[in-house]
Every structure is written in C-alpha cells, then in structure tokens.
Structure 1
Amino acid sequence: MKIWLDGKLVDETEAKLSVFDHGTLYGDGIFEGIRFYNGRVFRLEDHIVRLFDSARYLLLDIPYAFDEIIRATCETVAASGLSDGYIRLVVTRGVGNLGLSPFNCKNASVYIIADKIALYDPSVYENGLALITSSVRRNRPDMVCPQVKSLNYLNNILAKMEAVRMGVAEALMLNEAGNVAECTGDNIFIVKNGTVFTPPVTDGALDGITRRVVLEICNELGIPAEERTMNRYTVTCADECFLTGTAAECVPVTKMDGYVIGSGKIGPVTARLLARFKELTATTGTPVA
C-alpha cells in the first residue's frame, strides 16, 4: 500500500511519524474521512474546505495549498488501485518537544491513506441498527468546538466502547443540556409525520458532509426537512430514524435503548433518501484520473 506523506507517495512500511509529533503526544491535529466510488472522490472539495476551516480554528498552518491537497488526495486513490474505498486525510501539528506549546512545532505533517472500510455488518443496512444512549456527553461548544474534526476523539471512543459492551454497534450522544447531539461518528436524523428532522450544529452535531447531502436530497425530492433540537423522547417516538456519515454512509436505525422505532423496519422516507444517495455516489464526484 502507498501512503502520501509530506509531499510524496511512500510504501506503508516507510510511512512514519516522529514520536515527538504533537499529533501523537497531544492529539493536536485534524482529519477528514472521505469516500470514493467508481474512481470518483465524493464531495472532495467540501471535505477540503472543512479541513482548512478546522486548521484555521486551531491556528494550524497546512503546508500545502488547497489545490495541492486535492491533487495529493487523487494521487493517493490512484496509487491504491481501488475503485471504491475510504480516504483518511490527517494533518498533525508536527514535531516539537515534550512541552505543551504548539508554537515549538515548526512544520505540520500531512498524510493520506486510501483503503477499504466497513463500519457495520452489511445486514445492518437491510435490517436496521440498534442504538443505546451513552452516558458520555458530546463536547460543549465552549470547550473543544464540535465543528472541528480534531484528533481528540476520546469521548467518542468511550461512548463507542459503552455501546459495544452493551451489545450494540452504536451509541447516541447527548449534549450538556441532555439534548441529542449525534452518535459516536455519525449524524442522526428522524422522520416524523413525513418531515425529516436533525439536530442543529449548535446542539453539538458535526456539520457532516453526508448530513448536508441528505438535506440537499430532501430539498430535491420535496421532502420537508428541518433542523430542530431533539431529546430521547423525540427519537423514541419517531416514525423512522437513520444515521449519516462518510464512512457509515446512510444507516437505518430500528431500535434504541430497547425501544422499537416506528415499525421496526426501514421506513419509506428513509428508503427514498438512501436510494437517491446511492445514485449520487455512483455518478458524481471528482475523477481520480
């Protein structure tokens, strides 16, 4: 496997970072997860815009221009030999010393991986996913801004561990007010009386790229859609529920905390949205070649 590391493609065994990199020492860095289908990178520009926005918030200087990151991403996909897969693009603060200050790190490091990924068993996409509500809360906006895709994912990992220990694959995360934020790596949507709802980013939800695509699809198909603050009651009383994320794509949810959501099967609105999403991923995107 070839990895793009700081300006060139290298073998996986040669893709190494220093133990003094602040990404390793302190989780000081950012990332994007991106999908490619049929030799096209889906919503690549949107992802790179978000990457640079995250870097700006963290005062992290990416040592490559926007177009250079686009080109490097496509080069990495081409070198993988895959027509469908997942990209992990990471920017770390770079090598510094054992002190906390990031200003001792002179140059950020960038690496890009293109490989296969499967978050959930394929049967989940046909039969639906079960959730639990995690006791671990989403980061407050006045702590680490939830809009930044930073390398600090420890609270999400703890919530994921809690879900797995409870025998399910995913967990719902609430914010400090007890309202719904998102899941450990996915945005959440519900359908009630024909209208699609999702929590606003101000409630701790990431401004997910797939989330944006689903809202665009709703507009295209004439399905009413709103951002609205939700709690566990809202979710358990929903007619339908599904999750969205780049790695997960669109995943129907049929149970939460032992409650059956709606009919316990994939609902008609969810099915329409998933079908259109698959059409878009199969036919649009930035060509790799």
Structure 2
Amino acid sequence: MKIYLDGKFVDEAEAKISVFDHGLLYGDGVFEGIRLYGGNVFRLEEHLERLEYSAKAILLKLPLSRADLSAATCETCRQNGLKDAYIRLVVTRGVGDLGLAPWLCPKPSLFIIASKISLYPQEYYDNGLAIVTVPTRRINPAALPPTIKSLNYMNNILGKIEAKQFGALEAIMLNDQGYVAECTADNVFLVHKGEIITPSASQGALKGITRGTIFDIAKELGVPMREANVTRYDIWCADESFLTGSGAEVIPVVKLDGREIGTGKPGPITQQVLASFRRRVLVEGTRI
C-alpha cells in the first residue's frame, strides 16, 4: 500500500510521524473519511470544504490548496490501483514540544490513506441493526462544536465501548439535555407518518456529507424532511429508522433499546433512500 505523506508517496511501513506530533499527543488536528465508488470520489469537494472549515475553526493552516488536496486524494487511489475504497485524509498540527501551545508547531503534517473498510456485515444492510442508547453523553456543542471533525474522538470511543458491552454494534448518544445527538460514528434518522426527521447540528450532530445527501434524496423522492429535537421515544415509536455515514453509508435500524421500530424490518422509505444513494455515489463527485 502507498500512503501520501507530506508531499511524497511512501510504503505503508515507512508512513511514520513523530511522537512529538500534536495530533498524537493531544488529538490536535482534523480529518475526513471519504468514499471511492467505481472510480468516483463521492462528493470530494464537499469533504474538502468541510476539512477547510474544520481547520479554520481550530486555526490550523492547511498545507495544500483545495485543488492540490483533491489531486493528492485522487492520486493516492490511483497509486493503489483502487476503484472502490475508503479514504482517510488527516491533517495534524505537526511537531511541537510537550506543551499544549499549537503556535509552537511550525509545520502541519498531512497524510492520505486509501484502503478498504467494512463497518457492518452485509446481513445488517439487508435486515437492519439493533442498537442501544449508551450512558455517555455527547459533548455539549458549546464545549466542542460537533461541526469540527477533529482527531479527538474519545467521546465517541467511550460510546462505542459501551455499545459493545451492551452487545450492540452501534449506539445512540444523547446530549446533556437528553435529546438524541447522533450515533457513535453515524448520523441518525427516523421516519414517522411519511416524514424523515433528523437531529440538528445544534443538538450535537455532525454535519455529515452523507447526511446532507439524504436531504437531496428526500427532495428527489418527494418525501418531507426536517431537523428537530428528537428523543428516544420518537425513535421507539417511529415507523422506520436508518443511520448514515461515509463508512456506514445508509443502514437500516430495526430495534432501539429492545423495542422494535415499526415492523421490525427495513421500511419502504429507508429502502428508497438506500436505492437512490447507491445510484448517486457512482455519478456525484470527482473521477480519479
């Protein structure tokens, strides 16, 4: 495997950063998870725009322009002979001392990995996931805005650990007011009386690229969609539910906290959304 690292393509074994890099020491950096489908990098421009916004929010100067980031991303896929892949683009604060001060890190580090990912076995896309609500709450947006896709994922990791302890592959995380924020790695949606509903970013949800695609799909399908305050009760009593993410794509949810959602099977609107998403990923984005 070839990894893009600070302007060069290196073998996987040689792809190394310093132990003094603040991305490692403090989670100080930003990243994007991007998908390649049939030689098409899905919504690459939207991902790079979000990366720029995340970097701006933490006063991190990106080492490449958007055009150069796009070219480096596509070339990483070509270097590895990939047509379908998961791409991880990471920008760290770079090497500094053992203090927190980011201004003492003179040069950020950039690396791009293109490989495979499979978050959930195919059976769950066909039959749906059973998920749980975990005790760990999502960080308050006033403390750490969820719109910053940073390297510090400990909050999500704690939720993922608890999900496993409860025998689930994914879990709902509530905010400090008790409203649904998102899952540990995915955005969450419910369908109720023909309408698609999802938590807003102000409740602690990441503004996911796949999440944004669902708004476009809903418009295409003529299905009403809105952001709202969502409780566990709303999902328990929903007709359908599904999750989205660059890694997860679109995956149905059929049970939350031991309660069947709707019929306990993937619903018709979820299936329409998934079919539309699978069509779109082959045409929306950047050809490598």
> What is the TM-score normalised by the length of structure 2?
0.99
2:150 counterpart of 1:144: no
2:93 aligns with 93
Residues 50-129 of structure 1 mapped to structure 2, 5 A cutoff: 50-129=50-129
2:265 paired residue number = 265
How far is the alpha carbon of 1:141 from its aligned partner?
1.0
Q: State the alpha-carbon separation in 2 of the partners of residues 140 and 284 from structure 1.
A: 33
- In the TM superposition, residue 248 of structure 1 has moved relative to its aligned partner by 0.3
- Deviation of 1:102 after TM superposition, in Å, equals 0.8
CA displacement at 1:133 relative to structure 2: 0.3
Question: How far is 1:244 from its partner?
Answer: 0.3
Give deviations 1:190-246, integer Å, cap 9, x for gaps. 000000000111111100000000110001111111111101111100000000000
1:5-25: per-residue Cα shift (whole Å, max 9, x none)? 001111111111000000000
* Partner secondary structure for residue 31 of structure 1: strand
Name the aligned partner's letter for residue 120 of structure 2: Y
Q: Distance in 1 between matches of 2:285 and 2:142?
A: 35
Q: Give the conservation status (yes or no) of the 8 Å contact 2:36–2:84.
A: yes
8 Å contact from structure 2 (residues 254, 261) kept in 1: yes
Normalization by structure 1: what TM-score? Answer: 0.99
SS of structure 1 residue aligned to 2:60:
coil
Correspondence for 2:27 = 27
For the 8 Å contact 2:45–2:285, the answer to whether it is kept is no
Structure 1 residue runs of 5 or longer lacking an equivalent are: none
Q: How many residues align?
A: 288
Task: Give the distance between the partners of 2:280 and 2:87, measured in 1 at CA.
Answer: 18
Q: Partners of 1:201 and 1:242 in 2: how far apart?
A: 17
The separation in 2 between residues aligned to 1:59 and 1:110, in whole angstroms, is 16
Q: What's the offset of the Cα at 1:130?
A: 0.9
Q: Give the drift of 1:261.
A: 0.5
- Describe the superposition over 1:101-143 as per-residue Cα deviations: whole angstroms up to 9, x where unpaired: 1111000000000000000111000010011101011111111
> What CA distance in whole angstroms lies between the structure 2 residues aligned with 1:145 and 1:64?
24
Letter of the structure 1 residue corresponding to residue 80 of structure 2: S
Question: What residue number does 2:212 align with?
Answer: 212
Are 1:162 and 2:169 counterparts?
Answer: no
Deviations 1:11-62 (A, max 9, x none): 1111110000000000100100000000110000000000000000000011
Report the identity percentage: 55
State the one-letter code of the partner of 1:139: I
Residues 248-287 of structure 1 mapped to structure 2, 5 A cutoff = 248-287=248-287
Q: Does 1:180 align with 2:180?
A: yes
Give runs of ≥4 in structure 1 deviating > 4 Å. none
Partner of 2:241: 241
- Contact preservation (8 Å) 2:37, 2:83: yes
For 2:44, the aligned partner's letter is: L
State the alpha-carbon separation in 1 of the partners of residues 95 and 14 from structure 2.
Answer: 17
Shift of 1:100: 1.1
* 1:144 CA drift (Å): 1.1
Distance 1:209 1:100 in 2: 31
Give SS of 2:122's match: coil
Distance 2:111 2:63 in 1: 12
> CA separation in 1, counterparts of 2:8 and 2:251?
36
| Unpaired runs of at least 5, structure 2 | none
SS class of match (1:244): strand
Q: Does residue 194 of structure 2 align to residue 189 of structure 1? A: no
Give me the whole-angstrom Cα distance separating, in 1, the residues matched to 2:190 and 2:161: 24
